[in-house]
Amino acid sequence: MQLRTLGRTGVKVSALCLGTMTFGNEADFDAAQAIVDRYLEAGGNFVDTADVYQRGAAEEITGRALGARRAQVVLATKGRMPMSDDPLDRGANRRHLTRAVEASLTRLGTDWIDLYQVHWPDPSVPIEDTLAALDDLVNAGKIRYVGLSNYLGWELQRGIDACERHGWAPIVSHQPQYSLISREIELETLPLCAANGIAVLPWSPLGGGVLTGKYTAAAAVPADSRLGASEAQAKRRLSEQNLQVAQAVGAVAEAIGKTSAQVALNWVLHRPGVTSPILGARNVGQLEDNLGAEGWELAAEQVTALDRASRLPLPYPHDMYRLINAM
């Protein structure tokens, strides 16, 4: 598998990152073990999890599945979300993050976390306080690098500036949602990350399964599917526009002999600024399909067709920015 550099760290990570949100839920330990084994066999070395996934179960399974191979991977996790009903057991404050890192280390069965990411912004905590706490954890050897996830552009830039100003461990990565049906980060976040040398690790590159072509309408969602668990999410994800994008993906896939999932992942994989899209799989079969997205590129005309099918109207001031700069 192709290797890419994680931001400005010099650390080489595989072009496809293995996500573990299904572990302990849609994938039991045996399934997770098989997924991890196949991913490593394919040359992958980048594994992403989070403490909130099944409230720690995914981290425990990930640690067990890696076992003695832990040092062979760049292991990333996330913290900030509620881990219990206790109001103190959440947040991006120093108290919680310090405890969360220790708990993640125990569940993962490791002495260090390569990339620790703040899962979501916490408006109740100044980002400077969050980053100061993470800098202390880097200095203590608990974590190696700091990342953020789901931050707005201005928040991300404020964090970058704070680290530079105080000499703290820099933000090396950002984990946002990005796919052919969710291109909002192209407006601000993606160019911001490129300008600052920050790795972009997109989650949900298949649009929650919409871009695999298995859904035709919100009313026809299988009850045992991920979207089947939420009627509201199914209606939002399976809009007419999104289904049209999925059809465009399917047309390209049929023309080149690939699956829809492989085409959608390949599009994200080769977007400027993207480092490693995060794969989510319930079983080895799904992982195998996703692994087929790497090692080739869509033709320019196919990329153009997908770009056009998925382009949404720009909000102000982006619409005027495009218009004026085209003059």
Q: What is the CATH number of the domain that holds 30?
A: 3.20.20.100
Q: What is the pLDDT of residue 319?
A: 87
Please tell me the distance from the alpha carbon of residue 239 to that of residue 14, in angstroms, as a whole number: 33
Is residue 172 within a helix (H) or strand (E), and if so which, with residue range? strand 171-175
**Would residue 199 count as lying in a domain?**
yes
**Would residue 230 count as lying in a domain?**
no
Q: What is the pTM of this model?
A: 0.93
**Would residue 227 count as lying in a domain?**
no
**Would residue 137 count as lying in a domain?**
yes
Q: Choosing from 53, 151, 178, 215, which is the catalytic residue?
A: 53
Query: SS3 for 84?
Result: coil
**Would residue 239 count as lying in a domain?**
no
Q: What is the pLDDT of residue 171?
A: 98
User: Known catalytic residue: 53?
Assistant: yes
In the chain, the number of structural domains is 1
Q: What are the pLDDT digits (tens) for 114-148?
A: 999 999 999 999 999 999 999 999 999 999 999 99
Cβ contact 259:296 at 8 Å: no
Question: How many helices (H) and strands (E) would you count in the chain?
Answer: 12, 10
Q: What are the pLDDT digits (tens) for 158-171?
A: 999 999 999 999 99
Percent of the chain with pLDDT over 90: 88
Residue 7 above 90 pLDDT? yes
Q: Which amino acid is at 155?
A: E
- Residues of the domain holding 160: 3-209+259-298
**Would residue 98 count as lying in a domain?**
yes
Q: What is the pLDDT of residue 311?
A: 93
Q: Is the peptide bond before 317 cis (omega within 30 degrees of 0)?
A: yes
